[in-house]
Chains A and B, each alone.
Chain A
Amino acid sequence: MTTTTQFWLNDRLITTSASAGMLVLDYLRKQERLVGTKEGCKEGDCGACAILIGELVDGRMHYQPVTSCLVPLGEMHGKHVVSIEGLNSRELSPVQDAMVNRCGSQCGFCTPGFVVSMSWYVMCAKGEPSRDGMKRAISGNLCRCTGYASIVRAGDDLVEGFGPGGNWESIWQADDRIKAMAEANMVPAYFNEMPKRLAAIAPHVVEPAHEGAPVDFHVAGGTDLYVQKGEHIPDGQVKILNRHPEMKGIRLEGDTFHVGALTTFEEFGANADIAKMIPRIQDYLFLIASLHLRNRATLSGNIINASPIGDMTILLLALDSELVFFEDDGQRTVAMKDFFKSYKVYDKRPREIMTEIIFPKVDANTRIHFEKVSKRKCLDIATVNSAIKIRTSDEGVIEAVNLTLGGVAAVPLWLPETAKYLVGKSIEPATLHAALDIAQGEISPISDVRGSADYKRLLARQFIIAHFVELFPDRMRFEQVV
């Protein structure tokens, strides 16, 4: 299947028949010789290859920073790809100027990626500019030279400049900030043309995702698939699932959430209903991945990857999620608790496509919490993670509970025995201690590069304690239970 992909690369219209599965990074560096975008790891872990991808949403350009080492070229159809070269004007931009002034660049190899991420922040971030916001924008960028301090200072200069009383406050507050920046020569003038230009590209006509000829690879966010099989994908038949917007979006129908399979982590956290149900979702997402990866990684991808330590998987498992699959001959729904069979083996037929994740909305007496520890707090894979959904009576008696643990078995684990024990008990240290013992009988961690089996056992214990201490601070304090 050769399909022509048409998109804008910086200020240039590209029409290419290059493989849909080719990485945007390789396309930029090898086909276009746009070598400002660097390859540091090809795993989405360093951000040296960061680019912006722009889409037309309701007549406005909507940009996101992503790592181009995990993005298939075929998905760029109808989009605006911005590499570092596309941010350059004759004069330095405020971001570039701040980085130069603060010596935020030493060897320079990571610098284009930082500049792209920081540029996204000043072009697109919502709310008031802040140091924390800027740091979150560069959470997917590694630098080995500076120790970050000078980069943070450069960020501070920008936050000050665009913030209240700053020289560029009016630009930040402008109704169309990118347009205001283009007029002030902070981004090249061609940015103003992009809505018109993208609107002129005819969308691909695509068959429903579960139909059509068999393919070698179904690519969704690609954040794990490219890490595992990156060298084979460009040569294979690829179905770009993100060409199916019908598989995105979050709907609350009555008391049930319907979450499109291609919903990204970032979209999930940004949904107001989700945020209401899981009040600390942003704190969890901060631990789960960098902004660049959260912009790409999908919920279904996280589930289908079937890693025993998938962060969103562990959370969704605790929410009593059901998975909806489509195949030529119809639809099937599988409870997530029954989905995982053994290590990376699960209940899905080869041609089935996951289209939706369904879970019930919780009532006011139900609380949800997520815990994760990894070697590095941010942008790291969990050693162990855990989620809980727990409903209690006003008197503190547990009425229903789901407890899940990742990294302690061959599959993302839910702990039925522990849950069974907890139901009907009141929240007090003795209950918890008994539950900890039962949970240890339900897990079977192994030693690996992320930690020893004993460490994982200990973490599992600590997380169960953490759930109760975090959710019921009035009934259980750290000192009472540890």
Chain B
Amino acid sequence: MKHYDAILHVRGESEYVDDVTPPAGMLHAAVFASNVAHGRIVSLDLEAARASDGVVAILTASDIPGANQIGGVIEDEALLAEGHVHFQGEPVALVVAESFEQALKAVAKIKMEVELGEIIVDPRVAFEKGEVIGVPRTFEMGDVEAAWAACDVVIEGRSDVAGQEHLYLETQRARAVPSEGGRLRVYSSTQGPYAVQKTVAKVLGVPHHVIEVDVRRLGGGFGGKEDQATAWGCLAALAAWNLKRPVELVLNRIDDLKMTGKRHPYSADYKIGATKDGKILAYAVRHYQNAGAACDLSLAVLERTLFHSTNAYNIANVRAFAASCRTNLPPNTAFRGFGGPQGMFAIESALTEVAEALGTSREEIQYRNLISDGDMFPYGQEVEHAQAQRTWEEAIDSFDYAGMRRAVDKHNATNTATKKGLAIMPICFGISFTATFLNQASALLHIYTDGSVSISTGGVEMGQGINTKIINIAAKALGIRESRIFVESTNTSRIANMSPSAASATTDLNGGATILAAGELMARFRTLMAQEFRINDPGTITIVDEQVLYRGEATGWDWEKLVNKAYMSRIALSSHAFYATPNVWFDKTKEKGRPFAYHAYGTAIIQVTLDCLRGIYDFDTVRIVHDLGRPINELVDLGQIEGGLAQGLGWMTLEELAYNDQGRLLSHALSTYKAPDGFFMPDDIQVILVEDSDNESGPYGSKAVGEPPLMYGIGAFFAIREAVRAYTGGQPMAFDAPLTPEKALLALHADKLGGLSAKRTAKSSVSAAIAAAVVAVIPGK
């Protein structure tokens, strides 16, 4: 089966929130947001805006009947600013008008005076000043301090990795429709329908059951709509509640870019020690997370940085510290990988320095230290079913890495105008919500008397193919054809208390619940058929290809006859089942536990060609060996691998969020924020799935696939860096991602800058990028 929604998609018939025919009298809202990053609101002048054409109402914090609070983890974020603003793009007022254009025009007429406060954009500065969210965490294993002495080489260094815009093609949006008795139905583009439901209820001061949230599909999420769809759902609901009319709020691209949080930037200091033959003995790292102005999901993201601070490597002595630092940027949030990639970037940087110090290759050090069964993760979980070495070795063999390496070295020896770089990127990513309680899901399955099937789960379709996989799973569990099955919208009245569609776990959890729900129905059917056939063991009854079998033999009964018989016999044709991932736990007081049901593994090889004259680069090839267990739908999963890879490559190279020191986002449009296009991606991408793999913890032996492939993209940084250093003769080069064409060119020709500066006619300061490029990161040995 292909992607379940695809036929609607290619015809342009899929309905997103605002595509649905609007209810009569619907109003449109637009947000007035702060244009300074920190300060006290002195005055807010709404008069001109109120008088503007078509304006029906302007809502501020004082119009909120319940709590002005949308913080999901820590209550530190107002829906509409009150008294102070903390970042540029923080919503202050909501204009509601007859048309969207009128609402936007009125927004432009609002005047706000702010007494400027101190603006912090750097997480290290925030940390120095004590602006820390929650409590810093430290994961520890072994004894790093004792281990340094045993090392032949000890290196200290720093890595920096920037944020990333989600760039879901469908911007944030919601539509709220009031109904009788003060009830509200909210159509939201959210990965977390329950988060929207409970937060709307909190803002309005009503019980959860008054609010129904319905989600048909998202035009992309990638984490950006896990927590950050909530504000827009709440604002639409607040307006509908106050005005007793349907209200729609759609952010335009520029507002979306300015007002929403991104992937967290991180800065890290590390110290790493190894023996002279490349065995890593100890690793200490301090991560400074740039959380932005409110907690959002930052603490959970921070935790996952720690969980993945050693990536796929076995290091006996580890101390990983991480602090969530409050700055005056929009609150950063979930993004595919959820802090894991940032942790991996630091260890990959550190390993690279070890290789350089020892005069050996990066891949030598990586391979030497890959984890295997029986090793321990720093958080106390034992490594089981490790596939790090297997995927690495299969990648090396299948793709003739030695040949690739020879060709690259030969090219570099004989060419000056272009240089090639090659990097291997192994990944190990833990699957489960690290907040253990979220590892629960339910499914509601109806069979109608014509044999058609309706399924509701808590999984949100955002393109990742959850609905397709639910159908694949249900068809298999019931033994019927897929075309009988329809997956309903995700709705809080049908599925209560759902976890967000996140953590790569949506299929595992909701698919698990679907299997249980189908199992309940199958048990009833078996009992019914056993009675019908007068046999003792219902277990001998199966359904295959819509036929009821007894001991594998046809009985003359098919699905429709069976369903009809059940109905006439007053057997329930609906089931609701609940799934909770077994055997996961974590003790935060000890920072030890078994947080993950299992780990996803794979290895990528990335090759790049660098134009040494212009500093631009092209990816030649990406080769991947990935472990999917027993995939439920290879085509859908391949799409996740390739799509994740593209986002990872973009994050490491051209996707640059430029904030100035006033906390203003300069790259606030698609003309300035560039994500991969079709020509950025290499034509030559090959993916091999590990054969004969299994996974006892995933539905039908499958493995989660959503996030892990993004981290293959990290290899791009090291491939480009290798190409640059092939030109510069191995000059030091900072670990500062993204490695944009600007940084590449400045690193290639750092020696020319002095000459150019002398010729200046106008003043211009040396940029941070250049400082980073020319300041050597010399390992302290």
Instruction: Give the interface of A toward B (CB within 8 A).
Output: 33, 35-43, 45-46, 48, 83-85, 88, 92, 95-96, 99-101, 103, 105-112, 115, 131, 135, 138-139, 141-152, 227, 231, 234, 371, 373-381, 383, 437, 440-455, 457-459, 461-463, 465-466, 469, 478-479, 482
Expressed in whole angstroms, the minimum distance between the Cβ of B737 and any Cβ of chain A is: 14
Q: A108-B9, A482-B416 are in contact. Are A144 and B671 (CB under 8 A)?
A: no
Cβ of B770: which chain A residues have Cβ within 8 Å of it?
Answer: 452, 454-455
Q: A107-B221, A146-B642 are in contact. List 11 more A-B contacts (CB 8 A).
A: A41-B253, A107-B218, A108-B5, A144-B167, A150-B642, A375-B654, A376-B654, A377-B618, A449-B658, A453-B767, A455-B770
In the complex, what distance in Å separates the CA atom of A381 from the CA atom of B654? Answer: 13
Contact A84 B764 (CB under 8 A): no
Q: A35-B19, A144-B675 are in contact. Are A45 and B764 (CB under 8 A)?
A: no
Contact B742 A451 (CB under 8 A): yes
Interchain residue pairs with CB less than 8 A apart (11)? A108-B6, A109-B169, A115-B12, A144-B220, A145-B463, A148-B681, A375-B654, A375-B674, A376-B677, A441-B761, A462-B614
Q: A152-B678, A383-B742, A478-B417 are in contact. Are A103 and B756 (CB under 8 A)?
A: no
In the complex, what distance in Å separates the CA atom of A84 from the CA atom of B19? Answer: 14
Contact B170 A139 (CB under 8 A): no
Closest A residue to B682 by CB, please name it: A149
Cβ of B745: which chain A residues have Cβ within 8 Å of it?
Answer: 455, 458-459, 462
Q: A107-B218, A107-B220, A108-B219 are in contact. Are A92 and B10 (CB under 8 A)?
A: yes
Closest A residue to B765 by CB, please name it: A447
In the complex, what distance in Å separates the CA atom of A108 from the CA atom of B2? Answer: 13
In the complex, what distance in Å separates the CA atom of A38 from the CA atom of B252? Answer: 12
Closest A residue to B220 by CB, please name it: A107
Closest A residue to B104 by CB, please name it: A231
Q: Which of A43, A447, A479, A482 contacts B671 (CB 8 A)?
A: A43
Asked if B551 lies at the interface with its beta carbon under 8 angstroms from chain A, I say: no
Expressed in whole angstroms, the minimum distance between the Cβ of B336 and any Cβ of chain A is: 11
Cβ of A445: which chain B residues have Cβ within 8 Å of it?
Answer: 762, 764
Contact A447 B764 (CB under 8 A): yes
Contact A45 B104 (CB under 8 A): no
Asked if B14 lies at the interface with its beta carbon under 8 angstroms from chain A, I say: yes
Asked if B753 lies at the interface with its beta carbon under 8 angstroms from chain A, I say: yes
Q: Which range contains the number of B residues in contact with the other chain?
A: 35 or more
In the complex, what distance in Å separates the CA atom of A445 from the CA atom of B417? Answer: 26
User: Which of B83-91, B340-348, B632-640 touches A?
Assistant: B632-640
User: Which of B56-64, B324-332, B643-651 touches A?
Assistant: B643-651
Closest A residue to B649 by CB, please name it: A147
Asked if B685 lies at the interface with its beta carbon under 8 angstroms from chain A, I say: yes
Cβ of B16: which chain A residues have Cβ within 8 Å of it?
Answer: 38, 109
Asked if B202 lies at the interface with its beta carbon under 8 angstroms from chain A, I say: no
In the complex, what distance in Å separates the CA atom of A441 from the CA atom of B2? Answer: 60
Asked if B741 lies at the interface with its beta carbon under 8 angstroms from chain A, I say: yes
Q: A444-B761, A447-B765 are in contact. Are A458 and B10 (CB under 8 A)?
A: no
Cβ of A452: which chain B residues have Cβ within 8 Å of it?
Answer: 742, 764, 766-767, 769-770
**10 closest Cβ contacts across the A-B interface?**
A36-B12, A107-B463, A109-B219, A147-B646, A453-B764, A108-B9, A84-B12, A452-B767, A106-B463, A440-B759
Contact A43 B669 (CB under 8 A): yes
Closest B residue to A446 by CB, please name it: B764
Expressed in whole angstroms, the minimum distance between the Cβ of A130 and any Cβ of chain B is: 12
Contact A144 B10 (CB under 8 A): no
Q: Which of B7, B464, B667, B756 contacts A449 (CB 8 A)?
A: B667
Interface string of B447-470 (1 = CB under 8 A from A): 000000000000000111100000
Cβ of B681: which chain A residues have Cβ within 8 Å of it?
Answer: 147-149
In the complex, what distance in Å separates the CA atom of A482 from the CA atom of B253? Answer: 42
Asked if B683 lies at the interface with its beta carbon under 8 angstroms from chain A, I say: yes
Contact B462 A107 (CB under 8 A): yes
Closest A residue to B644 by CB, please name it: A147
Cβ of B105: which chain A residues have Cβ within 8 Å of it?
Answer: 231
Closest A residue to B170 by CB, please name it: A109
Contact A99 B6 (CB under 8 A): yes
Cβ of A106: which chain B residues have Cβ within 8 Å of it?
Answer: 3, 463-465, 639, 643
Q: Which of B2, B169, B740, B756 contacts A457 (CB 8 A)?
A: B756
Closest B residue to A48 by CB, please name it: B169
Contact A227 B764 (CB under 8 A): no
In the complex, what distance in Å separates the CA atom of A131 from the CA atom of B679? Answer: 12
Cβ of A234: which chain B residues have Cβ within 8 Å of it?
Answer: 101
User: Looking at A151, A376, A440, A463, which has the most chain B CB atoms within 10 Å of its CB?
Assistant: A376
In the complex, what distance in Å separates the CA atom of A110 from the CA atom of B679? Answer: 17
User: Looking at A37, A135, A227, which has the most chain B CB atoms within 10 Å of its CB?
Assistant: A135
Cβ of B614: which chain A residues have Cβ within 8 Å of it?
Answer: 371, 373, 459, 462-463, 466
Cβ of B48: which chain A residues have Cβ within 8 Å of it?
Answer: none
Q: A33-B21, A152-B678, A446-B764 are in contact. Are A103 and B3 (CB under 8 A)?
A: yes
Asked if B406 lies at the interface with its beta carbon under 8 angstroms from chain A, I say: no
Interface string of B339-375 (1 = CB under 8 A from A): 0000000000000000000000000000000000000
User: Looking at A105, A107, A371, A375, which has the most chain B CB atoms within 10 Å of its CB?
Assistant: A107
Q: Which of B10, B645, B742, B769 contacts A96 (CB 8 A)?
A: B10
Contact A108 B14 (CB under 8 A): yes
Contact A147 B11 (CB under 8 A): no
User: Looking at A46, A103, A115, A135, which has the most chain B CB atoms within 10 Å of its CB?
Assistant: A103
Cβ of B666: which chain A residues have Cβ within 8 Å of it?
Answer: 448-449
In the complex, what distance in Å separates the CA atom of A444 from the CA atom of B762? Answer: 5
- Residues from 603 to 648 in B contacting A, C-beta threshold 8 Å: 612-616, 618, 635-636, 638-639, 642-647
In the complex, what distance in Å separates the CA atom of A482 from the CA atom of B169? Answer: 42
Contact A107 B169 (CB under 8 A): yes
Contact A147 B677 (CB under 8 A): no
Contact A479 B638 (CB under 8 A): no
Contact B762 A469 (CB under 8 A): no
In the complex, what distance in Å separates the CA atom of A380 from the CA atom of B677? Answer: 10
Contact A141 B616 (CB under 8 A): no
Contact A108 B217 (CB under 8 A): yes
In the complex, what distance in Å separates the CA atom of A88 from the CA atom of B674? Answer: 32
In the complex, what distance in Å separates the CA atom of A278 from the CA atom of B10? Answer: 39
In the complex, what distance in Å separates the CA atom of A373 from the CA atom of B675? Answer: 16
In the complex, what distance in Å separates the CA atom of A450 from the CA atom of B679? Answer: 20
Asked if B43 lies at the interface with its beta carbon under 8 angstroms from chain A, I say: no
Q: Which of B10, B217, B218, B680 contacts A115 (CB 8 A)?
A: B10
Contact A150 B639 (CB under 8 A): yes
Contact B749 A139 (CB under 8 A): no
Interface string of B385-419 (1 = CB under 8 A from A): 00000000000000000000000000000001100
- Residues from 1 to 50 in B contacting A, C-beta threshold 8 Å: 2-3, 5-16, 18-19, 21
Contact A227 B671 (CB under 8 A): yes
Cβ of B753: which chain A residues have Cβ within 8 Å of it?
Answer: 454, 457-458
Expressed in whole angstroms, the minimum distance between the Cβ of A15 and any Cβ of chain B is: 23
Closest A residue to B672 by CB, please name it: A449
Asked if B72 lies at the interface with its beta carbon under 8 angstroms from chain A, I say: no
In the complex, what distance in Å separates the CA atom of A457 from the CA atom of B766? Answer: 12
Q: A100-B2, A111-B10, A469-B613 are in contact. Are A375 and B643 (CB under 8 A)?
A: no
Contact B8 A108 (CB under 8 A): yes
In the complex, what distance in Å separates the CA atom of A150 from the CA atom of B685? Answer: 11
Closest A residue to B668 by CB, please name it: A449
In the complex, what distance in Å separates the CA atom of A131 from the CA atom of B684? Answer: 13
Contact B169 A455 (CB under 8 A): no
Contact B671 A108 (CB under 8 A): no
Cβ of A437: which chain B residues have Cβ within 8 Å of it?
Answer: 759
- Residues from 193 to 242 in B contacting A, C-beta threshold 8 Å: 217-222
Q: Which of A33, A39, A100, A379 contacts B6 (CB 8 A)?
A: A100
Q: A106-B465, A479-B417 are in contact. Are A450 and B672 (CB under 8 A)?
A: yes
Cβ of B656: which chain A residues have Cβ within 8 Å of it?
Answer: 375
Interface string of B153-197 (1 = CB under 8 A from A): 000000000000011111100000000000000000000000000
Expressed in whole angstroms, the minimum distance between the Cβ of A226 and any Cβ of chain B is: 12
Closest A residue to B766 by CB, please name it: A454
In the complex, what distance in Å separates the CA atom of A271 from the CA atom of B742? Answer: 35
Expressed in whole angstroms, the minimum distance between the Cβ of A67 and any Cβ of chain B is: 11
